[in-house]
Amino acid sequence: METQASDTVTDSHQTQCCIVGAGPAGMVLALLLARKGVQVTLLESHRDFDRDFRGDTIHPSTLEALDQLELADRLLEIPHGKLEFMQFSSNGTTTTVANFRRLRTRFPYVMILPQARFLDFLAEEARQYPSFRLELGANVQQLVQTDGVTQGIRYRGLDNAWHEVRAPLTVAADGRFSKIRSLCGAEPIKTAPPMDVLWFRFPRRPGDPHDQITFFVGGGLFVFFLDRGDEWQVGYGLMKGSYSEVKSAGLEAIRENLVRLVPWVADRVETLQDWKQVVVLSVESSRLPTWHQPGLLLIGDAAHVMSPVGGVGINYAIQDAIEAANVLTEPLRTGQMTEAHLAEIQKRREPAVKAIQWFQGLIQDRVVKTALDKDRPFRLPWPARLMLKIPGIRDFPARMIAFGLYRSRIKE
Ligand SMILES: Cc1cc2nc3c(=O)[nH]c(=O)nc-3n(C[C@H](O)[C@H](O)[C@H](O)COP(=O)(O)OP(=O)(O)OC[C@H]3O[C@@H](n4cnc5c(N)ncnc54)[C@H](O)[C@@H]3O)c2cc1C
């Protein structure tokens, strides 16, 4: 894993923790370590945080954690949306599957804020701490390893030169296509979700629905609309592997299907005119059997890619970061970190990840598959309909989405 002779490293910098990827996981971990005086270098390949849509949700558990840091009220001052219900609508019947209003928390809703704005807010906060260093445009390409122990990374900077960061701990928070995961040879256990999603945008108009996300289901299709202020981010579900068939049927077929399922979009479907407006998300779900190696920890999507069911990836990535900070702050500060500390983080987080992935698998098999089968009329399965009527357990889906199996709290 050494650089080529022609790729001379122009500078090397020593820190206590090197984090690769300034998404929700990397940014929150960097902030939590820096505020406790741990020297952190956070490396991000993009020049800023404004990139393709990857979810704008900030869940109650994250708001509770920010509240512990006395940041929640300031974050809530930024103009945002609130999601209070998650619903299914099919054949004229609408069923609420998650009512966040009933949760016992100061924040009984999912806050909707463009992710770039959220990351900017956290970066601004972290910059107040002298032990925090953020390098944008730092594309990490290599691990520095000696005798199987990771001792840092090498990245290409905006100047196109090689730079090195050395640290007793490198954290891979570099997302679903993690470079570090492939460099260290970690192999995820994969499952096969039955769907893919097409993403595109429509204008949002006064009088459109708000405070809710509704999955419109029927005729072998499901569609949902995410509120992004002046526009809708539209998710259009399709059976895995059917993209070329859908593409050859053309955009006109998509527009017709949308109007059939969701009549109020008839006045704007014509804005969808070109396949360049459409992004295909190949839905994946996987998790690493082991999240660590000597000197290296993987968290967030780098350790477990989440299915989009329930929109929980950001929440789980942030909870990984909170537990990582809880376990690592002292050992990093005192230079006493061992691999047992890294194993402890996996031990704390893995049950929650396994539980939500099991739950998502169940929904994919019992709900999404039926929704995408055009030969079967869609109805929520009876155990789900029954569960949603019983006080005490009817809020299980809302709790799993809002908090996960348990709430991670920041250790003071
Ligand atoms: C289309 C789409 C919609 C989604 N919608 C939702 C939603 O509504 N709600 C939800 O909770 N989740 C959603 N998710 C999932 C969510 O985006 C992820 O689960 C979450 O972002 C994971 O956070 P992370 O910090 O682990 O990784 P990421 O957010 O992926 O961050 C990784 C960071 O690492 C950087 N990086 C990658 N490689 C390198 C490198 N070599 N060097 C330096 N930096 C690097 C990337 O640029 C990125 O900034 C969605 C995902 C997609 C793709």
Q: Tell me the pLDDT of the chain (412 aa) as tens digits.
A: 444 444 799 999 999 999 999 999 999 999 999 999 999 999 999 999 987 778 899 999 999 999 999 999 999 999 998 999 998 888 888 889 999 999 999 999 999 999 999 999 999 999 999 999 999 999 999 999 999 999 999 999 999 999 999 999 999 999 999 999 999 999 999 987 888 999 999 999 988 888 778 888 888 888 998 888 888 999 999 988 889 999 999 999 999 999 999 999 999 999 999 999 999 988 889 999 999 999 999 999 999 999 988 889 999 999 999 999 999 999 999 999 999 999 999 999 999 999 999 999 988 888 888 888 877 777 888 888 899 999 889 999 999 999 988 888 999 8
Q: In this structure, are 185 and 265 located in the same domain?
A: no
* CA of 306, closest atom in ligand 1: 19
Atom of ligand 1 at shortest range from CA of 56:
8
Q: How far is the CA of 359 from the centre of ligand 1 (A)?
A: 21
Confirm if 25 and 300 have CB atoms less than 8 A apart.
yes
Other Cβ atoms closer than 10 A to 335: 8
Domain termination residue (choose one: 254, 281, 308): 281
**What is the distance in A from the centroid of ligand 1 to the CA of 184?**
20
Phi/psi at 247 (nearest 5 deg)?
Answer: -65, -40
pLDDT of residue 4: 46
Q: How far apart are CA 353 and CA 330, in angstroms?
A: 25
Q: How many angstroms is it from 303 CA to the middle of ligand 1?
A: 12
For the chain, helix, strand, coil in percent to 5 are: 35, 30, 40
Q: How far is CA 188 from CA 143, 178, 285, 305, 315, in A?
A: 19, 11, 9, 9, 20
Q: Which atom of ligand 1 sits closest to the CA of residue 176?
A: 30
pLDDT of residue 1: 47
Task: Check whether residue 21 and residue 124 sit in a common domain.
Answer: yes
Nearest atom of ligand 1 to the alpha carbon of 138: 43
Tokens of 195: 């769907």
Q: Which atom of ligand 1 is nearest to the CA of 320?
A: 26
CATH number of the domain bearing residue 30: 3.50.50.60
Q: Give the residue, by CA position, lying nearest to ligand 1 atom 26.
A: 300
Q: Which amino acid is at 77?
A: E
Contact 26, 123 (CB under 8 A): no
| pLDDT of the residue at 40 | 98
Please report the sign of the dihedral spanned by the C-alpha atoms of residue 153, residue 29, residue 186, residue 342.
Answer: positive
If asked whether residues 154 and 123 sit together in one domain, one would say yes
The whole-number pLDDT of residue 2 equals 44
The atom of ligand 1 lying closest to the CA of 179 is 41
pLDDT at 143: 97
Is 3 part of any domain? no
Residue 408 lies in a domain: no
- The number of folded domains in the chain is 2
Q: Is residue 265 part of a domain?
A: yes
Pocket of ligand 1 (CB under 6 A): 20-26, 43-46, 53-55, 57, 138-140, 173-176, 179, 199, 281, 300-302, 306, 308, 311-315, 317
User: Does 30 fall in a domain?
Assistant: yes
CA 185 to chain centre: 23
How does DSSP classify residue 176?
T
Task: Decide which of 231, 263, 281 is a domain's last residue.
Answer: 281
Same domain, 97 and 38: yes
Same domain, 385 and 364: yes
CA-closest residue to ligand 1 atom 37: 174
175 CA distance to ligand 1 centroid (A)? 5
In a domain, 398, yes or no: yes
148 & 46 share domain: yes
Q: Is 249 strand, coil or helix?
A: helix
Beta carbons of 39 and 17 less than 8 angstroms apart = yes
The whole-angstrom separation of Cα 311 and Cα 285 is 13
Cα of 371 vs centre of ligand 1, distance in Å, is: 27
Residue whose Cα lies nearest atom 17 of ligand 1: it is 54
Amino acid at 278: V
Please indicate, yes or no, whether residues 208 and 175 belong to a single structural domain of this protein: no
Distance 302 CA to ligand 1 centre (A): 9
Are 30 and 137 in the same domain? yes
| pTM across the whole model | 0.94
Q: Are 286 and 162 in contact (CB under 8 A)?
A: no
290 and 270 share a domain?
no
CA of 176 to the centre of ligand 1 (A): 7
- At 158 the pLDDT is 96
Q: How far is the CA of 58 from the centre of ligand 1 (A)?
A: 13
Burial (CB count <10 Å: 0-12, 13-18, 19+), residue 280: middle
Q: What is the pLDDT, as a whole number, of residue 276?
A: 95
* Domain presence at residue 409: no
Residue 303 near residue 320 (C-beta atoms within 8 A) = yes
| 149 shares its domain with 209 | no
d(CA 375, CA 365): 16
Q: How far is the CA of 378 from the centre of ligand 1 (A)?
A: 32
- Collapsed DSSP state (helix, strand, coil) of residue 152: strand
| Ligand 1 atom with the shortest distance to the CA of 300 | 26
Residues 148 and 262 in one domain: no
* Domain containing residue 264: 199-239+241-281
As a whole number of angstroms, the distance between CA 183 and CA 161 comes to 20
- Which of 42, 49, 54 should be mutated for ligand 1, with most atoms under 8 A from CB? 54
Same structural domain, 185 and 310: yes
Closest Cα to atom 20 of ligand 1: 314
Atom of ligand 1 nearest to the CA of 25: 25
Asked if residue 1 belongs to a domain, the reply is: no
